[in-house]
């Protein structure tokens, strides 16, 4: 190799050499031999082992002994080593698909490299699923809750009086006190609790503290990271989090973390926005807050959080806006005439929202409303859906919103909806109904949603014909294998071209997760939890479930990264990612992810005998 420095710079962009130290990279670059191959020229066969080949320019086609196509590789990709094709290793022949420049590493040097570099040896010895898991592994330093425990937690026994607790908080200059019973955490009392539960109603301070505490507060282990704490605080709208240690049966309190501790640990945080949302008194004030979303989204992605964490945080912000709008609506039009649940569907239900998500929502009512009650819930829906649209969550083009009276009905009517889809399945109805299995209560009577989900999942799980239609629907969204050498023109007539990482990358995985969840009787909406619980139920191999989780994290992460770049440039984020803008490393990992998804779809097709 004549120009070692140029070779070293290029190798830094090639997986798995990107993590080699400078000395190892220079050694590798010095042993590469360059060769030019015109289009159609056979380069090598995989047996006998030719060593390793790195494509510097052009493209290479891999075929089997009968000249059947196996794969296509381009700049920055490798061949010559053992390669897995759709789940099995096969012999192959490499030929130049176009004029190309290839760097060759002799077999002896390849063996030396693997012997000296364990990660390199593991990469070429592993299946694609293992390499994909490595590619999605988080590499940023993680701050744990124990890192924030700089002072002991202030606690008091449950038999102590309210006055004693107040004096203790004043003496220790703290905003909360943990209430203990028999050495175990029983509850928590904050300044706010004392104001609202004691001073406002004029309660006798000689009463025991347990009468005004928040019982069984949510807690996290000391080794949990800040993102877990953040999500828990956002979900429960709480600002104090007990920290515990030990096994569940021997759990003991080690401290307390506040929202202020987290905000001081990280300069910009979604929790701050959620807290501000709950303090606003009008839609106009919420609109002003919503303008902070793009910058916050860009920061979340740039900090290196994975797609699962970003999706949950972005969704918690959407939930907070929704809940506050519902509260403002009730303050304006009065208390609801019956119990209800505001539900989210689709990506919000799955807690997998991105930079730009439509609203998909509905109402589950306790009973069939009379005319006056129906008008109330129409007003409620109009206020909330209109407010969400103003906050940057556009109306659903398919009208899957509480604004639509079809999705603003009683629990009994919702059951009849699911009965119709399940008892008389046909392709269009099954496709339409899929989004409703992604359902989560955002506000209101959670029991209504729990009962509906249990009913729907049990009915779907017990109907083989419906599940077969669902499986066929899953197979309509195939990953874009083979599209990395050219742009993809969208069928909707859009002038934008690129890989649609939502419909061709994320949807196939979320469809598979939903299908396996229905088979296992799992009511969770989040795709990551669905795969975990389906594996625990034995409906999918644990390794395959982990691979699909990694694939989802990778594809969604690339999409989020591209959306963050567009937002930072002042442009509208979308789902189409130009493949030429992806590094060879990302293209390689995407291909591995898509192959895993395709294999999982093929297993499903075989199980249900659908094409």
Give the pLDDT confidence of 361-388 residue by residue, as tens digits: 999 999 999 999 999 999 999 999 999 9
Phi and psi at 240, nearest 5°, equal -130, 130
% pLDDT > 90, the chain: 58
Which tens digit of pLDDT belongs to each residue from 479-490?
Answer: 887 544 443 434
Which tens digit of pLDDT belongs to each residue from 439-481?
Answer: 999 999 999 999 999 999 999 999 999 999 999 999 999 888 7
Phi and psi at 95, nearest 5°, equal -135, 150
> What mean pLDDT is predicted for residues 227-243?
84
* pLDDT for the residue numbered 582: 81
Higher pLDDT pick, 527 / 246: 527
The candidate with the shortest Cα–Cα distance to 177, out of 260, 275, 256, is 256
Widest distance between CA atoms in the chain: 92
* pLDDT for the residue numbered 495: 45
Q: Which residue has the tokens 């061949």?
A: 79
The CATH T-level fold of domain 467-608 is: 1.20.120
> What mean pLDDT is predicted for residues 482-510?
66
**Low-confidence winner among 230-239, 292-301, 490-499 (lowest mean pLDDT):** 490-499
Task: Please say whether the beta carbons of 316 and 352 come within 8 A.
Answer: no
- Highest-pLDDT range among 16-30, 256-270, 357-371, 563-577: 357-371
Decide if 4-125 and 467-608 have a common fold: no
CA distance 99 to 317: 51
Own/partner pairs, 451-456, CB within 8 angstroms, 24+ separation: 451/411, 452/364, 452/411, 452/414, 452/415, 452/418, 453/523, 454/523, 455/415, 455/418, 456/415, 456/418, 456/422
CA distance 252 to 184: 7
CA distance 230 to 271: 6
- Strand ranges in 66-139 using DSSP code E only, listed in sequence order: 69-74, 78-79, 84-85, 88-89, 93-96, 100-105
Higher pLDDT pick, 42 / 183: 42
Q: Reduced to 3 states, what is the DSSP secondary structure of residue 135?
A: helix
CATH architecture of 277-462: 2-Layer Sandwich (3.30)
* pLDDT for the residue numbered 139: 45
* pLDDT for the residue numbered 315: 95
* pLDDT for the residue numbered 126: 62
According to the 3-state scheme, what is the secondary structure of 489-531? ECCCCCCCECEECHHHHHHHHHHHHHHHHHHHCCCCCCHHHHH
CA distance 109 to 105: 6
Task: Please say whether the beta carbons of 383 and 423 come within 8 A.
Answer: no
CA distance 134 to 120: 12
* pLDDT for the residue numbered 199: 92
Supply the DSSP symbol for 76.
T
pTM, two decimals, is: 0.69
Indicate the domain borders of the chain.
4-125, 148-266, 277-462, 467-608
- Highest-pLDDT range among 150-154, 257-261, 345-349, 354-358: 345-349
> Is 410's pLDDT higher than 90?
yes
Higher pLDDT pick, 348 / 596: 348
Phi and psi at 58, nearest 5°, equal 95, -160
> What mean pLDDT is predicted for residues 165-185?
91
In this structure, whether the domain defined by 4-125 belongs to CATH 2.60.120.380 is answered with no
Cα dihedral 263, 266, 267, 268 in deg (nearest 10): -80
Higher pLDDT pick, 123 / 394: 394
Chain-wide mean pLDDT for the chain?
88
* pLDDT for the residue numbered 484: 43
Helices (H) and strands (E) in the chain, counts: 23, 23
Phi-psi label, residue 280: left if phi above 0, alpha if psi -120 to 50, beta otherwise: beta
Burial of 587 (0-12, 13-18, 19+ CB in 10 A): buried
Compute the residue count for the chain.
Answer: 611
Contacts of 2 (CB under 8 A, 6+ apart): none
Q: How far is CA 445 from each of CA 274, 312, 406, 429, rounded to the nearest angstrom?
A: 22, 22, 20, 28
* pLDDT for the residue numbered 363: 98
Q: Which residue has the tokens 């009650």?
A: 373
Contacts of 248 (CB under 8 A, 6+ apart): none
CA distance 104 to 121: 17
* pLDDT for the residue numbered 550: 92
Task: Please say whether the beta carbons of 175 and 240 come within 8 A.
Answer: yes
> What mean pLDDT is predicted for residues 260-282?
78
> Is 85's pLDDT higher than 80?
no
CA distance 177 to 187: 9
> Is 129's pLDDT higher than 60?
no
In Å, how far from its chain's centre is CA 183? 38
> Is 494's pLDDT higher than 60?
no
Please count the other Cβ atoms lying within 10 Å of the Cβ belonging to residue 331: 10
* pLDDT for the residue numbered 132: 59
> What mean pLDDT is predicted for residues 231-258?
83
* pLDDT for the residue numbered 123: 80
What would you report as the CA-atom Rg of the chain, rounded to the nearest whole angstrom? 28
* pLDDT for the residue numbered 483: 46
The CATH class for the domain spanning 148-266 reads alpha beta
Q: Which residue has the tokens 């999605």?
A: 136
């Amino acid at each position: 190799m004549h120009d070692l420095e140029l070779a070293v710079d290029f190798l830094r962009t090639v997986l798995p050499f990107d993590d080699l130290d400078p000395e190892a990279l220079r050694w590798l670059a010095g042993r590469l031999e360059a060769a030019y191959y015109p289009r159609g020229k056979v380069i090598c066969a995989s047996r006998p082992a030719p060593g390793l080949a790195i494509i510097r320019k052009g493209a290479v086609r891999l075929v089997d002994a009968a000249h059947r196509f196996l794969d296509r590789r381009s700049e920055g990709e490798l061949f010559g080593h053992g390669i897995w094709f759709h789940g099995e290793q096969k012999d192959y022949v490499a030929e130049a698909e176009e004029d190309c420049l290839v760097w060759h590493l002799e077999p002896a040097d390849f063996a030396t490299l693997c012997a000296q570099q364990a990660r390199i040896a593991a990469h070429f010895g592993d299946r694609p699923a293992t390499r994909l898991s490595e590619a999605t592994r988080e590499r940023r330093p993680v701050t744990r809750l124990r890192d924030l425990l700089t002072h002991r937690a202030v606690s008091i026994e449950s038999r102590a009086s309210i006055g004693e607790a107040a004096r203790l908080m004043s003496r220790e200059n703290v905003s909360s006190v943990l209430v203990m019973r028999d050495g175990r955490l029983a509850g928590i009392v904050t300044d706010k609790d004392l104001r609202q539960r004691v001073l406002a109603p004029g309660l006798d301070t000689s009463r025991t503290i347990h009468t005004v505490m928040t019982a069984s507060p949510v807690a996290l282990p000391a080794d949990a990271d800040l993102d877990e704490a953040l999500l828990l605080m956002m979900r429960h709208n709480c600002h104090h989090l007990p920290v515990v240690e030990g096994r569940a049966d021997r759990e003991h309190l080690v401290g307390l973390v506040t929202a202020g501790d987290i905000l001081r640990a990280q300069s910009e945080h979604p929790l701050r926005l959620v807290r501000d949302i709950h303090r606003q008194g009008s839609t106009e004030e919420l609109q002003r807050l919503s303008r902070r979303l793009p910058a916050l989204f860009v920061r979340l992605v740039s900090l290196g959080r994975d797609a699962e964490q970003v999706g949950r945080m972005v969704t918690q912000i959407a939930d907070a806006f929704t809940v506050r709008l519902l509260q403002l609506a009730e303050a304006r039009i009065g208390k609801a005439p019956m119990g209800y649940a505001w539900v989210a569907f689709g990506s919000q239900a799955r807690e997998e929202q991105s930079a730009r998500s439509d609203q998909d929502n509905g109402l589950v009512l306790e009973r069939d409303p009379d005319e006056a009650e129906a008008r109330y819930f129409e007003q409620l829906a109009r206020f909330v859906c209109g407010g969400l649209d103003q906050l940057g969550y556009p109306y659903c083009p398919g009208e899957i919103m509480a604004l639509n009276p079809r999705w603003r009905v009683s629990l009994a009517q919702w059951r009849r909806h699911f009965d119709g889809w399940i008892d008389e399945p046909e392709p269009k109805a099954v496709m339409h109904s899929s989004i409703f299995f992604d359902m989560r209560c955002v506000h209101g009577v959670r029991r209504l949603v729990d009962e509906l989900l249990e009913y729907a999942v049990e009915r779907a799980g017990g109907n083989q014909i419906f599940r077969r239609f669902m499986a066929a629907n899953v197979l309509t969204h195939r990953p874009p294998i083979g599209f990395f050498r050219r742009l993809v023109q969208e069928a909707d007539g859009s002038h934008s071209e690129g890989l649609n990482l939502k419909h061709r990358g994320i949807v196939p995985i979320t469809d598979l997760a939903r299908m396996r969840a229905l088979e296992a009787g799992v009511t969770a909406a989040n795709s990551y939890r669905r795969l975990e619980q389906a594996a625990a139920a034995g409906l999918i191999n644990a390794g395959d479930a982990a691979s699909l989780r990694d694939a989802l994290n990778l594809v969604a992460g690339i999409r989020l990264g591209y959306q963050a770049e567009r937002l930072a440039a002042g442009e509208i984020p979308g789902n189409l990612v130009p493949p030429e803008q992806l590094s060879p490393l990302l293209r390689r990992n995407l291909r591995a992810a898509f192959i895993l998804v395709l294999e999982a779809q093929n297993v499903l097709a075989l199980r249900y005998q659908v094409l």
